Structure 1
């Protein structure tokens, strides 16, 4: 069994492997681990009973305990070792051929990855589901097509494998096949089944249509759109962002789904869109306020989790555009504030001008009135004219100061004399 240091040393090389190669490597390591454990169990000497008192007996009982594994693990382990006889023994004992591990991987998936034709035939003959799906919706045909295993592809198609099965990345088996002979086999089978491009596009859109229907139902029932789903705690918007479901994402955002919702790892939907290269979804999320600088629990931004350099460049461009838009908005906001302030000042000027004009009008009227009274010849009239003149000065001052008062009128007899 590999030592810890050896495992650490090979991590960089493992990180560069593709998905299929990494899975095969992990299976080989697991098989080595189980084989070493079984060998260690055989070499462990049996401890005789009794002969040492109660404490020794309890110790021997503890040492005699054996580690057991679930049936799914044992079936997968036997399939990974290509042990057809052990697999047959498990199946004959009543174990289901469709048992899977926590990732949804069945023995049929594993045998298709390993190009084990006898095991694939044995599992299918025992009733294994040719269209079983793992956690990422891969079928055995996806696995065989990806690895270019022509004989397995032919056998799976004969046993009813779905040529239009779509995995979580939106890929069908023929999308993932790079081996020319295997690809020709897949395309020929699709032609024989009358599969047209229209049917292919319809099958690709089926998952999103189902999701849109689910969202509309939640909206009608008034249920929460941001409720965590699955053990990762992602929301519907996380799922739509990861899969590139533009219509579903638009519907969610239209009904106020949160673009800053976080899953168990602190990822926002924008992290998912960036990780899986869904640029249109990233643009939509940013337009609804998602931040390209948002950090996960591991301090990763959407740019940090983006593995595709071309997508990363587009996200950087989107980030610069977003910054430019925000800067432009701030500039326009400042101009609007200055215009509002200027308009208020002009209003004050107009009000001051109106008040000044009104005061001047009152002053002119009073001056004319004083002149009329000044033409009277008697002394009393002279005194009154003097009083009016004095009052006019005071009143004018008061008006100038902003009051709307007028001087008192002369006695009624004086008005009659005039």
Structure 2
């Protein structure tokens, strides 16, 4: 069997959500990190599909949790950003590069905060991802949780988690505006109050 056909069998099994076929392919020793035409490994495809069973099979077989595709996404970054919590736990236990960044220069924590995934945020914080990392847009996770959300209960939960983890509320964006400035401007009174209380500690 050629490398190309081996790769297709692994990838096709993941795409088809065929656990038995994937098990057979991996047991036959076919390449676990072969890529599709977008540069995605089978594991990254499994993450995008939120297929925890396939992800577990691939990780157990030694899949690279940090392998990047053509647009600089990796299984770790996507699992964190999109709140694939079950898969994220597996990835964090198998060598995730906590300092890795996406094409916007952001860690997994920043989009997890912006997209409203509090459990992923907590997992990433606990793993040691830098809560004050600044991406290429000049934003931290805290800034994105204020600027790019509706300020409702989920963003409030995330803001509280970030502040409790040591997020610096005084880091400004590229225009010199802090998270508190944005919270006030957006009418997010609960978030503004949290940040003010944090600054008084």
Q: How does 1:173-188 map to 2 (within 5 A)?
A: 173-177=108-112, 178=115, 179-188=117-126
Structure 1's consecutive aligned runs of 4 or more residues displaced over 3 angstroms after TM superposition are none
Q: CA deviation at 1:196?
A: 6.7
Distance in 1 separating the partners of 2:5 and 2:81: 29
Distance in 2 separating the partners of 1:180 and 1:107: 27
Cross-structure match for 1:135:
70
Q: CA deviation at 1:74?
A: 2.7
| TM-score, length basis structure 1 | 0.30
Distance in 1 separating the partners of 2:131 and 2:32: 33
Cross-structure match for 1:124:
59
Distance in 1 separating the partners of 2:128 and 2:40: 26
Q: CA deviation at 1:77?
A: 1.6
When the two structures are aligned, how many residues end up with a matched partner? 133
What do the CA deviations read for 1:95-114 (whole angstroms, capped 9, x no partner)? Answer: 11100012110110011112
Q: Say whether the 8 Å CA contact 1:108–1:140 is kept in structure 2.
A: yes
Q: What are structure 1's unaligned runs of at least 5 residues?
A: 1-68, 206-242, 245-418
| TM-score, length basis structure 2 | 0.59
Distance in 1 separating the partners of 2:127 and 2:86: 14
Q: What are structure 2's unaligned runs of at least 5 residues?
A: 139-201
Q: Which has the higher helix share?
A: 1
2:85 corresponds to 1:162 = no
**More relative contact order, 1 or 2 (CA 8 Å, 6+ apart):** 2
2:125 corresponds to 1:190 = no
Q: Say whether the 8 Å CA contact 1:142–1:176 is kept in structure 2.
A: no
Partner of residue 32 from structure 2, selected from 70, 80, 97: 97
Q: Say whether the 8 Å CA contact 2:125–2:131 is kept in structure 1.
A: no
Structure 2 counterpart SS, 1:70: helix
Q: CA deviation at 1:124?
A: 0.9
- The alignment's C-alpha RMSD in Å is 2.5
Q: CA deviation at 1:175?
A: 1.5
Q: Say whether the 8 Å CA contact 2:88–2:120 is kept in structure 1.
A: yes
Q: Say whether the 8 Å CA contact 1:139–1:165 is kept in structure 2.
A: no
Q: How does 1:17-416 map to 2 (within 5 A)?
A: 70-177=5-112, 178=115, 179-190=117-128, 195=130, 197=132, 200=133
